[in-house]
Every structure is written in C-alpha cells, then in structure tokens.
Amino acid sequence: MEQRRLFRRSYTKQGAAPGTLAVTDAGHPVSIGMIRFDAEGLEELELDPDAELGDLLQPGKVTWLDVRALGDGAFIERLGERFGLHPLAVADALNVGQRPKIEAYEDFYYIVVRMLELAEDERLRVEQVSLFLGPGWVISVQERPGDCLDGLRARLRKGRKQLRSSNADYLAVQIIDAIVDGYFPVLESYGEWLEEIETRILEQPDQAVLSEVYDVKRDLMTLRRAAWPMRDMLSSFLQEESELLNDASQPYLRDTADHVIQIVDVTETYRELAGSFIDIYLSSISQRTNEVMRVLTVSATIFIPLTFLAGVYGMNFDTSKPGNMPELGWSYAYPVFLGVCVLTAGGLLFLFRRLGWLGGSTKR
C-alpha cells in the first residue's frame, strides 16, 4: 500500500537532524542527463556522477539537469552544494513521500510533484519528482529511472521554437505539465476497470468483485491524495511573484492547473461510481437472499401441510373401534386424498403468484 510506504520513508528521518540526507531507494544507480539549449541550438550529454561538477551553466542558455535515480544520494548532495540548494530542500528530494508543494527559497524554487504510473500488476505506482528552478537552470530529480518526459525531450530536440527560446520557468512548467498529462491514461485505465466491474457486478456479484471495487477505491484515494495537493501547489505557483517567473508562462501554468482540476473532478466521479457499485452489490445480495427465502417458503409451505395429511392417514388407530379413521375404509378415498393435495398445492401456488413470489428468479 502506497500510504504505508509514504511514512516509512519519512520515518527513517526520526531522531536525525533535519536536513539529514537519507538514501531511500538505493536499488537504482544514479544517472544524470544534461540538456543545454537556447533558440539556436541544443547540446545533450550524460554526466558522470563521480566526476567533478564543472561549470554547467552558460549565460543565455537554459540548462536542464535530469537526475534519473536517487542512487546513494551522494551526487545530489554534491549537486546541492554546487548550486547552493538549501539542505532541507535536498533532503526532501531524497526522502521521497513528500506531498506536492512549492517552496520559495531565496534564489530558487523547490517544487515537489507526484508522477503516476501503472505497474505491471495493474496497480498504481506513485513516484516523487523534485524540481529545482533557478535562474537559467532546472534540476529534476526522480526516484526511479523511466518517466513520462520523453515526449518533452523529443520536442526540445526537434527544436520547437517556442520551447527553445523560452526561459527556465517555461521548461519547469512544461515538465509539470507532462507529468500531469501522465495522469490521464492512468485515470482512463481505472475508468475501464470500473466499466468491467460494473458489468460483473450486475451479472455475477460475488466477494471477489467487491474486493476489486475496494482496490479501485483505495487506488483512487491514493490518486486523489496525489492530485489534490498538486492543485494547491499550482495555485500557489500561480500567485508567486519573482524575477524567476515570466508572465509568458502564466497561461501555460493556468492550463496545467486546469488539467489537475479536471483530474480531481474525474477522480471524485470515479469514487462516487465505486461507492454506488458497493451499494448495488449489497442490495443485490439482499435481493438474492430474498429470492432464496421465497423458494424455500414456497416449497415448504406447500409440502409441509400435505406431509402432515399423509402422516395422518399413516396412523395406526384401530379402525375397528368406532369413530377411528373411517376414511381409510372408504372406496376411492385415495384419489380423493390426492385431489385434496393437488387442490391445496394449487391454491397455495395461486396465492404465491398473486403475492408475486414466483416470478422472482426470472425477474432478476
């Protein structure tokens, strides 16, 4: 469960001084790409995490440092010193599980967003992406390799004019936008899952479907917990005023904020949908119990009196004594008995039909 992971990470910090660098996911070795561009050209290179960090920035150019995994945190620590990043911000980038937020430091912004992907088991995986936005540079830090930013890189390489000739803040907005757009296919997949669940819940409701509904609900809860603070973060971002931010990026940021609101909207709709599936499931169990009861009641109510009647004529009273079961000695008493049985059963069936108890199983 995502929420458990969330605090276990943070928990490693307990007792430590704030700003302590905790390596949270040492499984992936750190790997760093650098893209440096202006309107004229673009250069792309892979950085060696162990090499000296030279002067990466060039005046008039925008530099994007793309840290694709946390590694043991050492590189990011050096990076932080090189770019003058506040230790708390660096620590937050390493201690994944932060809520999406934007923090204004003296000469840079620290932004946390959450990237979604569907793991192979179709469950939701949430990854923290940290952005540092300074004058002329953007540093992005991901938890694990693999992301949804390849489209953005391709557009940079293709030299789309607007993207190339703009400032670092526009690049940061583009990165956030690409991550937010990555929510839509995830949402769509949950939409399809819900559609499939709806069919099954109407046709064959069992505990397994119900437990899937709860899985979806829980994932949607996680998703909402990722998207909701993104909304707050973006509206804070929109209200920031700084020389790092240009007016020209505002409409794009507003557009991204609109998308997040749409995502929150759809998530809420899906949660309500999942909630209504639970209601339908419960009511269909009640309905089926009712039907089962009706079948039992009809069969028992018809045959119990008849069985009593048959039992009566199976009694061994001495028929030679006066008053004792003269019927047994009558001619054609047996067909009369059978007729009474048929009439009783028929009458009860007619009554049950009028009560609407017989059409139950077909009506479902």
Q: Which of residues 286-325 bind a copy of itself (CB under 8 A)?
A: 286-290, 292-297, 299-301, 303-308, 310-318, 321-325
Q: Burial level of 120, CB count in 10 A (0-12/13-18/19+)?
A: exposed
Within positions 335 to 364, which residues make up the interface with a copy of itself, using CB under 8 A? 335, 337, 355-357, 361, 363-364
- Sign of the alpha-carbon torsion through 290, 291, 297, 300: negative
Rounded to the nearest 5°, which phi and psi values hold at 85?
Answer: -80, 145
Choices 31-39, 115-123, 128-136, 199-207; region in contact with a copy of itself by CB under 8 A: 199-207
- Interface size with a copy of itself, residues (CB under 8 A): 129
Task: Map 307-357 to HEC letters.
Answer: HHHHHHCCCCCCCCCCCCCHHHHCCCHHHHHHHHHHHHHHHHHHHHHHCCC
Q: Is 151 in the site for a copy of itself (CB under 8 A)?
A: yes
Within positions 12 to 51, which residues make up the interface with a copy of itself, using CB under 8 A? 13-19
Are the C-beta atoms of residues 163 and 170 closer than 8 Å to each other? yes
Angle at 121 between CA 116 and CA 123, to 5 degrees: 40
- The single residue among 74, 202, 340, 343 that binds a copy of itself, judged by CB under 8 A, is 202
Shortest distance, CB of residue 139 to a copy of itself, whole angstroms? 18
- The single residue among 27, 41, 84, 251 that binds a copy of itself, judged by CB under 8 A, is 251
Within positions 264 to 283, which residues make up the interface with a copy of itself, using CB under 8 A? 265-266, 269-270, 272-273, 276, 278-283
CA–CA distance, 244 with 131 (Å, rounded to integer): 14
Q: Is 86 in the site for a copy of itself (CB under 8 A)?
A: yes
CA–CA distance, 227 with 232 (Å, rounded to integer): 9
Choices 9-17, 58-66, 118-126, 234-242; region in contact with a copy of itself by CB under 8 A: 9-17
Site string for a copy of itself, 54-73 (x = CB under 8 A): --------------------
Q: Is 81 in the site for a copy of itself (CB under 8 A)?
A: no
Are the C-beta atoms of residues 102 and 28 closer than 8 Å to each other? no
Shortest distance, CB of residue 99 to a copy of itself, whole angstroms? 6
Whichever of 43 and 272 has its CB closer to a copy of itself, that residue is 272
Nearest to 140 by CA among 164, 159, 113: 113
CA–CA distance, 165 with 42 (Å, rounded to integer): 11
In the beta sheet, which residues pair with residue 89?
A: none
Within positions 106 to 135, which residues make up the interface with a copy of itself, using CB under 8 A? none
Within positions 158 to 197, which residues make up the interface with a copy of itself, using CB under 8 A? 160, 162-163, 174, 177-178, 181-182, 184-185, 187-188, 191, 195
Shortest distance, CB of residue 308 to a copy of itself, whole angstroms? 4
Shortest distance, CB of residue 130 to a copy of itself, whole angstroms? 13
Q: Is 83 in the site for a copy of itself (CB under 8 A)?
A: no
Whichever of 32 and 164 has its CB closer to a copy of itself, that residue is 164
Tokens of residue 187, six digits: 């949402």
Tokens of residue 318, six digits: 């001495």
Are the C-beta atoms of residues 277 and 197 closer than 8 Å to each other? yes
Site string for a copy of itself, 214-243 (x = CB under 8 A): x--xx--x---x------------------
Tokens of residue 13, six digits: 């910090």
Tokens of residue 291, six digits: 């039907």
Shortest distance, CB of residue 90 to a copy of itself, whole angstroms? 12
Whichever of 140 and 256 has its CB closer to a copy of itself, that residue is 256
Whichever of 165 and 301 has its CB closer to a copy of itself, that residue is 301
CA–CA distance, 44 with 248 (Å, rounded to integer): 26
CA–CA distance, 331 with 141 (Å, rounded to integer): 100
